[in-house]
Structure formats: structure tokens, C-alpha cells
Amino acid sequence: MGVLDSKVPSGPLADKWTKHKNEIELVNPANKRNIDVIVVGTGLAGGSAAATMAELGYNVKTFCYQDSPRRAHSIAAQGGVNAAKNYQGDGDSVYRLFYDTVKGGDYRSREANVHRLAEVSTNIIDQCVAQGVPFAREYGGLLDNRSFGGVLVSRTFYAKGQTGQQLLLGAYAAMNRQIQRGKIKSYTRHEMLDLVLVDGKARGIIARNLVTGEIERHSAHAVVIASGGYGNLFFLSTYCMGANVMAAWKAHKRGAFFANPCFTQIHPTCIPVSGDHQSKLTLMSESLRNDGRIWVPKKLEDAKAIREGKLKPTDLAEEDRDYYLERRYPAFGNLVPRDVASRAAKERCDAGYGVNKTGEAVYLDFDAAIMRYGREKALTSGMKNPDDKTVRKLGEEVVEAKYGNLFQMYEKIVDQNPYKTPMMIYPAVHYTMGGLWVDYNLMTTIPGCYAAGEANFSDHGANRLGASALMQGLADGYFVLPYTIGDYLSDDIRTGPIPTETPEFEEAENNVRERIQKLMSAKGEHSVDYYHKKLGKIMWNKCGMARNAKELQEAMDEIAELRKDFWANVKVTGVADGKNQELEKAGRVADFLELGELFAMDALERNESCGGHFREEYQTPEGEALRDDKNFTFVSAWEYKGDPRKAKLHKEELVYENIEVKTRSYK
Amino acid sequence: MKLFLKIWRQKNASTKGKMMEYTLEGIESDMSFLEMLDVLNEDLIARGEEPVEFDHDCREGICGTCSLMINGRPHGPDSRITVCQLHMRSFNDGDTIVIEPWRAKAFPVIKDLIVDRTAFDRIQQAGGYISVNTSGRPVDANAIPIEKDAADASFNAATCIGCGACVAACKNASAMLFTSAKVSQFALLPQGQVEAADRVLNMVRQMDLEGFGNCTNTGACEVECPKGISLENIARMNREYLAASVKG
């Protein structure tokens, strides 16, 4: 296996995790008090890991750029969290969740990790309910479930359209309890600017206090990176404005391999772009696809008339609509996985059937659901022959109870009433499956440096299923990392506190100061956003939903060129020794300008289509993704070599012993 | 559209601030309010001036980071939204817009429009949790059925995003709505009962220590809350507090 040892335990798949937990080293409670752990990022993965490690007895320091851990972008996840509870009795099981996730990831994830994820999924729900997370319930008082894309069971737990917020507040509450006990020291409005290695081990970080501008040294026996994904590479995405790759990228530059950077999730149901001024895209939860039907006009002239405002979608007769997902994928219909739904929308819009001014939007229509629910409600309320108007009114009430906040959000942004006219949606960058390479213990290729949640690459392969991000973040943070990290820390019980007055910290701090100086002194032409937008355009046009070798090569060159221009001509106003949002942004964009090139190179190297990675050269006659299992059943893990395009590729071959690798079909 | 902006500028916590005036042209009605500020900042950067700093992050109304007082109202003229969800179609060509940070003793200004809201974190740390360790072996999630109405009411209280609009709206800068929302979330669930008395006493004590004002039941907080947190929560917290005090 060379440099990449995944450390997957031996034995039958279903026993691996239990066996591993029984065999790894433990640190006794008295010794845990002498061990420090740094956690960078306080979303679901970081927050839950920090709280659990503090409960176990470690001294934890957390860092987040937000003013409070409660604001991490996990909060924006709307739809739900999967767990193989089988409360609905619809045949769900740990195996089925495992199988769906591996299949959904297009057979590019590690079997053992995914099975562990499915195993601990049930604990997540128990844990969260015990913490007081107010999940949706049925009238009998038991937990309610709904269905998400790519699966045939109802295993998604939810709290209206705010599941992420409620789960994060649960983790934040658990953190608060440990902050109060003095076991967690929380550094908010802080950003990690470098990782410090001592004797090859991760032993601390350099952070910048974003309020005072002070550069600080923090040491620990291990460092956990839980800083989320890097979708802001595309400028326009559903990520929060501050999301960045800095912590992960700095770890990469210090020796952590970066895995599958090109595996990006483009989410099918986002509000379309409205103009050049736009700063971010807003997601409409995938749960809407439970009830919404996606369509475009069947005839080109109708699409044109709609774009020109001469025709209303509600005027179009049923037979003039093309419910293209139901047509192409009868078995899964509107609930096909995200990558499939996104590509299908792009295909229709590229063919000229788009329905908004820019031609880049399709309809998500609730009319059928409103009428269906309305009739059901009328029946259960004892109405004999309700007229259409009454049925519609009742149906709208049911839909409002289910999706009210999402409909309101849509109306605020688009200024159209989605109860009366279909929503318009278009795919947008939403999640990155790629990230720091980790072994079964979630340790990167740097000893003592761990990665959890979206920041690592491990569980979703080439495409993530809906409601699986919350599951993975909490699984890593509550149930995996706090235990596997003990195996490593058991060697550190006699180490004592790590001093910060050492050449290693000195070197890293100087490194950081020089870089800030360089950014501040490039008194050039253009603002940081100017470069970020340019990078985003290159990424979206050439490394987006469909990619080809020629454009990927062009993207690499254009990004390299843009990076050079950035360092010579970027204009960062303000001062370094105080609050400075321009400087914060500049540091983040500088990293994206390196990662973008690696991203394009990774996509160029992967001569196949799989999951969210669609290469135009590799498709079936029907336009479906064409995998090449013989040559590409591996994880690309890139080693930093000074320049993004000089990065060295290492391959972790993926072995499927428990699942038959098949062509993924949702037909 | 053309706009006249009056914006609070303050270098840092120890410097005195003042209102500054800016004129901005070419604003489109489908821009969000924060995108309008992005345009202003790009203009300022091009002129070599320091951009206006303001807190924002998710830009979809859920993280609670954005915090602007617009024409005297937290999160601006529309109801039930945060600033990031406010669009310029709510304004007219030629309008003058006054933009200030939250004003409260417990929320000191950090820079320009950014305030320090860590007082909210400390209130939560004082008791806004249920003391349960992560073991992987708690009771099954469905072992305790919870009446749907109670679960829904708990959820409604839990939707608070901690933005601080309630404090900014209150003439006394009281944090009662914020604190009571968390107290209510747990008071309505069986899991929250065990520590209920200590929780309410400790959280209220911390709230007072932070320098928030008293509640005089004007209801301004409820009107301005982007998530529609109800005043009923304050009543519930008062009951919980009284019961806990008597229990002593």
C-alpha cells in the first residue's frame, strides 16, 4: 500500500468497528487531564468532537472564525439527518444504509468507513434526543421520518427545515457545558493560519485573532481539522461567505495529502442566479423533491415564450410539460440522487428549455402535491364533495406546515409566491466530497493531525446522498474521532505540555507574518472580490457540472496566471494589526487560487465519469456517467510539492469485498 | 436606484465613532441589502478608502450573524427576516438609509457595524444544555414519546438564531426573549425537567451580570424577531423562575 495505509481493521465488515474499538489503546482518565487537543472549526464535526473529547477528560481548545460556535454553516443544512433506525418498518437496516451510501457515492468510497458510519447513525438520533434536540414528531409522540434522494426507504429525521441548526445547537450546548466546566477553551473570531509540526508530528497552530490582528501560538498534542468544505472556490455557492479551505490547505502544505479534490457536489435545487451583483446562492432543501415535480416545457417555442414573459407556466397544459426526471428515471423519479438530477437539469437547459431570463432554470412544481394533500385532508375532515378551491386551500395548509419556512425564504428572494406559481431552481455548488485524506482512524498523513466532517474525504465517494452530511459530521465528532484519537495520544501520556517557544513555532509564525506582509504590501489594482469572482467563473465554466480535458487544461493555466496576477496586483485596504475583513478574505482567496489548480488537475487525471465528476468524454449513449472501474477504483491523494501542478499523486486502491460493484442505475 | 447612506463608522472599541455619509448609484431592486453594501465597499476600495465592516455569513437568514439597525429598526423595515434576506425592492430611488450597529451596553462595538455578542454565549454556558454525555448508549430515541404539541412548541422556541435583534429593539436592551427561548425549549421537553430549576436560575443570573436591562413587557422584541419567537416564552420563563426560586 506504500505511503497510504488506510489501517482498516481485518475481519468481517460488520465486526470491524467493534473489534477495532476493543483493540485500540486507551488513555486513562488521570492522564487525559495532561493532554491537550486543538480543534479547528466548530460546526457539527468540530463542535461534537470538542464536546466529547472534553467529556472524556482531554483539555480542548476550539477555534472558529465566527463570533460564536453556534454560527458554523452546518446550521444551514435544512432537510434532515439519516439514521438506520427503521422506525417506519419499511425494511431499512444498517446494511441498507451502508449499501445506499456506497452506491450513491458511485463506488468511490471506503467500505469499512461507510459501514461504520451506518452503524453509529442510530446512536446519533438517540444522543440528540437525549440532548433535547426537538425533532419533528407524529401525533403518537414518536419521531417522524421522511424520504430523501437516492434511497427507497424513509430514514431521514428532521426538525422542519432547520435540522442543521437544531443539531448544531445540540453540539453547541454540549460544548457550552464543557466550557462552563473549564474543559474547553473557546477562541472565537480566530483563524488558523498555519499548522506547526514538531519532529514530524502536528503539535500546534498559528492563529490570528481577527479582532486585534494579533498572531498567536497555540500548542497541543494533537490537532483536529474540522473546518468544512471548499465549495467557495466557485465564488457562487450555497456556502456561507466565510467558508474557506485555509486550515485544510495549510495542513496540506505541511504534508497532509489532499484527496479527490475534484469531487464536488452540485445541488440540483437552488435558487437560480439573478445577476452579476450576486454574492451567494440559496439552497432549497432536497426534501422539496418529495412533493415537488420537476419539469420544463416540452416545446422549444413555449420555453422561449416563458423566457420572454409572454407565457405563464401555469398556463401550460399537462401534455405540454416534460417531467424529465420521471421520464428518464421511472423508478426514482424526482428523487434521483443529486448528481443525476443536476446533470439532467443542465442537459435540458443546454438544449434550450430553460425557463428564466438567463435560460438557466427549471420548474419545481407543487401543484399536484397541493391538490393531493388537499383531497386527503378534506376526506379526513369528513368533507364529502369539496370544490377545487377548498381542496387547494386545505392542500396549501398542509404544504405550508411541511415546507413553510422554505417557501417563505423563496418568496423573499425571488418575489414570487411558490404556492401559486412553480418555483424556479437550478443547480449550484453545495458540498465537497473531497478533502484531507484520512485513514480509518481519521488521521491524515501527518501524525497527530486529524480531519473530521466535510474537511475529510472519506465517506461519500464521488457523490453524497441527501441528509448524509449531518450524519457524517456527527458520527465523526461524537462517535469516532474521540475514541480513535486515544490510540495515538496513548503515546503522549509522558510528553508534558508542548512548549511554544521553539524554532518550529518561530518558523511557522514568521511564515505567517511574511505572508500577511506580502498581501498588505501588494498595493495593486483590484479588490480581493475581483479575483475571487474571476476564479469562480473559471471553475464554474471549466470545472463545473461537465468537464473535458481541453477545458481542464485551460483552467489550470488560467488559474496559475490569475494567481500570479493576484499576488502582484491585489489591493488589501486597512491594517494588519486590527479588524480587517479584506485581509481575511485575501488570505482565503490566495489558498483557493492554489487549490483550484489542483482541483482541475485531479479532474483531468480522472479519465472517467463518476458521481459528481462528469467528464464529457466518458458517457453512455444516453448521457449517463460512464465509470472505468478497471483503472480508476482508487482515491487520488495528492502530496504537496511546492506548486499545485507539481503535486504528486498517490493512489489508495478501493477494495469492495461486501458489495458487488455495478453500474449505478436509478431507472 | 440612487441612495443616500448614513453609516456608523468606528475604528475600534476604544475610539469614538460617528455617522458618515455616502451616495450610491446603480443599485438594482433584486439585490439583497448586504449586496448593496458589497457594492458600496467595492467603490470605497477602488477609491482607496477602508470598506465598511459588517458581520454576515450564511446570507440565507439562519446563522444569525448579520446585525444591522436600519432606519431605526433591527434587520430593517420588513418583518420576520434578517438583514441578509432584505432586498432593495423594499426601498425607493432617492431614499436616505441610516445604518447603525446594535446599540446595547452588553454588546460593545468592535468596529463600524460589528458588535461583540459573546454575552449571549455566556448566558448559554450558564445552563443552556442538558447534562448528558456522549456514550452511544443512551435510551432509544423513541423510548419517551413526546406529545406533538409540546415538541412543536419546543421547536418553535429553539428556532432562535441568537442574532440579538430582541436586545437591539428593546428600549431597556433586555435579553429576556433570547434567554427565555432557550429556557422554554428545555422546559417543554421531558429531557429538560431534571435540571430545570438550576437552569433558569443560572441563566437569568448570568443575563443580569452581563448588563442587559429589565423587561417591561413592551413586546418590541417579538415584533422584530426574525424567527417570530413569542412573548409567551418570557411568561413561561417567569413562571419557571418563580417556581425555581420558591423551591430554592
Q: Which of B61, B77, B110 is the last residue of a domain?
A: B110
Segment A551-567, tens digit of pLDDT: 999 999 999 999 999 99
- Is the CB of B162 less than 8 angstroms away from the CB of A128? no
Which residue in this structure is represented by grid cell 511557522? Answer: A508
A582 touches chain B (CB under 8 A): yes
Q: Identify the pLDDT of residue A1.
A: 41
Give the total number of structural domains in chain A.
Answer: 3
Q: Are residues A274 and A414 in the same domain?
A: yes
* Per-residue DSSP letter, B116: -
> Which of B25, B89, B80, B3 has its CA nearest to residue A274?
B89
Residue A237 lies in a domain: yes
Percent of chain A with pLDDT over 70: 100
Segment A25-78, tens digit of pLDDT: 999 999 999 999 999 999 999 999 999 999 999 999 999 999 999 999 999 998
Which residue numbers of A are catalytic? 338
Segment A267-295, tens digit of pLDDT: 999 999 988 889 999 999 888 998 999 99
Taking CA atoms, A228 is separated from A76, A401, A585, in Å, by: 13, 31, 16
Residue B79: domain span: 3-110
* Per-residue DSSP letter, A303: H
Residue A573 lies in a domain: yes
In this structure, what C-alpha cell is assigned to residue A240?
456561507
Binding-face residues of A in 104-133 toward B, CB within 8 A = 120, 123, 125-132
Q: Is the pLDDT of residue B96 over 60?
A: yes
Q: Is the pLDDT of residue A177 over 50?
A: yes
Q: Rounded to whole angstroms, how far apart are CA atoms A312 and A615?
A: 36
Query: Strand, coil or helix: what is B7?
Result: strand
B184, closest residue in chain A (CA to CA):
A132
Q: Are residues B143 and B32 in the same domain?
A: no
CB A480 within 8 A of CB A233: no
For residues A367-380, average pLDDT: 95
Q: Are residues A521 and A601 in the same domain?
A: yes
Q: How confident is the model at residue A408 (pLDDT cuts 50, 70, 90)?
A: confident
Residue A115 lies in a domain: no
Q: How far A78 CA lies from chain B's nearest CA (Å)?
A: 10
Q: Are residues B74 and B124 in the same domain?
A: no
For residues B59-64, average pLDDT: 95
Residue A395 lies in a domain: yes
Residue A567: domain span: 503-627
In this structure, what C-alpha cell is assigned to residue A80?
434532515
pTM value? Answer: 0.96
Q: Are residues B86 and B127 in the same domain?
A: no
Q: Are residues B123 and B233 in the same domain?
A: yes
Other beta carbons within 10 Å of B35: 21
Q: Are residues B126 and B234 in the same domain?
A: yes
Phi, psi torsion values for B90, nearest 5 degrees:
-80, 0
Q: Per residue, what are the HEC states of A606-628? A: CCCCECCECECCCECCCCCECCC
In this complex, how many residue pairs, one in chain A and one in chain B, have their CB atoms less than 8 Å apart?
Answer: 216
> Which of B225, B245, B113 has its CA nearest to residue B174?
B225
Residue A622 lies in a domain: yes
For residues A599-611, average pLDDT: 97
CB A124 within 8 A of CB A479: yes
Which residues in chain A are contacts of B146 at CB distance < 8 A? 137, 141
Q: Are residues B17 and B104 in the same domain?
A: yes
Q: Identify the pLDDT of residue A665.
A: 83
Q: Which of B92, B110, B128 is the last residue of a domain?
A: B110
Q: Are residues A57 and A45 in the same domain?
A: yes
Q: Which of B110, B129, B144 is the last residue of a domain?
A: B110
Burial (Cβ within 10 Å: 0-12, 13-18, ≥19) of residue A262:
buried
Q: Are residues A279 and A401 in the same domain?
A: yes
Q: Are residues B144 and B180 in the same domain?
A: yes
Q: Are residues A300 and A418 in the same domain?
A: yes
Binding-face residues of A in 424-483 toward B, CB within 8 A = 478-479, 482
Q: Is the pLDDT of residue A149 over 80?
A: no
Q: Are residues B59 and B87 in the same domain?
A: yes
Phi, psi torsion values for B170, nearest 5 degrees:
-80, 135
A412, closest residue in chain B (CA to CA):
B85
Q: Are residues A169 and A60 in the same domain?
A: yes
Q: Identify the pLDDT of residue A111.
A: 97
Which residues in chain A are contacts of B154 at CB distance < 8 A? 132, 134
Q: How confident is the model at residue A117 (pLDDT cuts 50, 70, 90)?
A: very high
Q: Are residues B135 and B23 in the same domain?
A: no
Q: Rounded to whole angstroms, how far apart are CA atoms A320 and A303?
A: 10
The domain spanning residue B50 has which CATH number?
3.10.20.30
CB A649 within 8 A of CB A606: no
Q: Are residues A297 and A309 in the same domain?
A: yes
Q: Are residues A480 and A582 in the same domain?
A: no
Q: Are residues B105 and B124 in the same domain?
A: no
Average of per-residue pLDDT values in chain B: 96
Q: Is the pLDDT of residue B248 over 90?
A: no
Q: Are residues A488 and A507 in the same domain?
A: no
Residue A3 lies in a domain: no
Which residues in chain A are contacts of B31 at CB distance < 8 A? 275, 277
Average of per-residue pLDDT values in chain A: 95
Q: How far A55 CA lies from chain B's nearest CA (Å)?
A: 7
For residues A615-640, average pLDDT: 95
A388 touches chain B (CB under 8 A): no
Interface test with B, best of A183, A279, A415 (most B CBs within 10 A): A279
Q: Are residues A246 and A367 in the same domain?
A: no
The domain spanning residue A611 has which CATH number?
1.20.58.100
Helices (H), A181-271: 246-253
* Per-residue DSSP letter, A644: G
Other beta carbons within 10 Å of A430: 26
Q: Are residues B60 and B153 in the same domain?
A: no
Segment A465-514, tens digit of pLDDT: 999 999 999 999 999 999 999 999 999 999 999 999 999 999 999 999 99
- Is the CB of B124 less than 8 angstroms away from the CB of A172? yes
Binding-face residues of A in 606-645 toward B, CB within 8 A = none
A480, closest residue in chain B (CA to CA):
B136
Which ipTM score applies to this complex?
0.97
Q: Are residues A524 and A597 in the same domain?
A: yes
CB A121 within 8 A of CB A475: yes
Q: How far A588 CA lies from chain B's nearest CA (Å)?
A: 14
Give the total number of structural domains in chain B.
Answer: 2
Strand order in the sheet with A293-297: A264-270, A423-432, A362-365, A293-297, A321-322
For residues A188-210, average pLDDT: 98
Residue A93 lies in a domain: no
Q: Are residues A299 and A405 in the same domain?
A: yes
Q: Are residues B100 and B152 in the same domain?
A: no
Q: Identify the pLDDT of residue A3.
A: 74
Binding-face residues of A in 26-85 toward B, CB within 8 A = 48, 51-52, 55, 66-71, 73, 75-76, 85
Q: Rounded to whole angstroms, how far apart are CA atoms B31 and B25?
A: 13
